[in-house]
Copies of this chain bind each other. A is one copy, B any other.
Amino acid sequence: MHALDASLKLEPLSEGRYRGDPPLAYWNMVGPYGGISAAIALKGVLDDPRCQGEPLSLTVNYCAPVRDCPYELVVENDRTSRTTQHWSIAMRQPDPNEPQRTTTTVRALAVMGRRRDVWEAAVGGGPPAVPGPHGLRSRKGREGIRWFEHYDSRFVDSPMKTVDPDAPVVSWVRDHPPRPIDYPALAALADTFFPAIFAKRKAVMPIATVSMNVYFHATAGDLSAVGDRFLLGVSRSSVYRGGFFDCESQLWADERLIATTQQIVWYRE
């Protein structure tokens, strides 16, 4: 079983309630990689028998550190209409100081939608023209960063060496080992981008995602057609101010925009 599938396994407890094990294979330094928490939140909706349609949007707020103990995931169906379905999601764990109380570690909103066969268009000229992934080197991970072992990410130009530190970070990425993409995998991939602030400051510094937003622009059929091939990611930040910066990114598969994603991220000088 792929580490991603093992990490997204949810044990149903009752309607809208699951128990899950901490996704240790996707651990970052002091807790899970943000993308895996996003994928877990979405998986909770997709596993629910009431779920209708395909993911349209996902917002994930990282409220408190997720600990290496089991969690409860609660998904609430706020509304179902003909075209959309709204969900609220909470991940909870026992409070480390008062185990009889729970802490909300992750809060999320998801919208599912019924896509229809209507007029379509893309704007803005497609992804940047760059060399394909197969001649490029995979990024090396860092000691102790487990989640990165499960991705194959390849820079078109190393952002730490580039002449223009404000240039968008362009990279190819897929699960490692390769795994056919689905919506939870896409949600997790949306958090793999190299932080542009490291290039801007020519240094690695403490950062933490506060909130992440993903808009899905692909049907399940589109994702099947992508299979396990590389996605092209393009990412940029606009403003670093007051200890928080934004990040706006696109994920492309074969000239087709399949997700746009944004974050607001805490940084320490």
A264 and B244 alpha carbons, distance in the complex (Å): 24
Is B88's CB under 8 angstroms from A123's CB?
Answer: no
A268 and B119 alpha carbons, distance in the complex (Å): 9
Copies in the complex: 2
Q: Which residue of the partner chain B has the closest CB to A166?
A: B123
Is A210's CB under 8 angstroms from B57's CB?
Answer: yes
Q: Given the known inter-chain contacts A119-B269, A266-B84, please indicate yes or no for A111 contacting B61, CB distance below 8 A.
A: yes
Q: Let me know if A250 is at the binding interface, CB within 8 A.
A: yes
The DSSP consensus for interface residues of chain A is: strand
Closest Cβ of chain B to A204, distance in Å, is 15
* Count, chain A residues at interface, CB 8 A: 62
Q: Let me know if A239 is at the binding interface, CB within 8 A.
A: yes
Q: Let me know if A83 is at the binding interface, CB within 8 A.
A: yes
A217 and B264 alpha carbons, distance in the complex (Å): 10
| Set of chain B residues within 8 Å of A119, measured between Cβ atoms | 201, 240, 269
Q: Let me know if A16 is at the binding interface, CB within 8 A.
A: no
**Residues of A97-136 whose CB lies within 8 A of B:** 103-104, 107-109, 111, 113-124
Q: Let me know if A72 is at the binding interface, CB within 8 A.
A: no
Closest Cβ of chain B to A23, distance in Å, is 20
| Set of chain B residues within 8 Å of A242, measured between Cβ atoms | 113, 115-118, 120, 219
Q: Which residue of the partner chain B has the closest CB to A122?
A: B239
Closest Cβ of chain B to A252, distance in Å, is 11
Is B61's CB under 8 angstroms from A86's CB?
Answer: yes
A77 and B69 alpha carbons, distance in the complex (Å): 23
| Set of chain B residues within 8 Å of A262, measured between Cβ atoms | 213, 215, 260, 262
Q: Let me know if A161 is at the binding interface, CB within 8 A.
A: no
Residue in B107, B109, B116 whose beta carbon sits within 8 Å of that of A86 in the complex: B107
Q: Let me know if A96 is at the binding interface, CB within 8 A.
A: no
Residue in B103, B107, B217, B269 whose beta carbon sits within 8 Å of that of A246 in the complex: B217
18 contacts between A and B (CB under 8 A): A57-B61, A59-B109, A64-B79, A84-B266, A86-B107, A88-B107, A113-B210, A113-B243, A115-B242, A115-B243, A119-B240, A120-B242, A123-B200, A123-B237, A123-B239, A123-B240, A217-B241, A260-B262
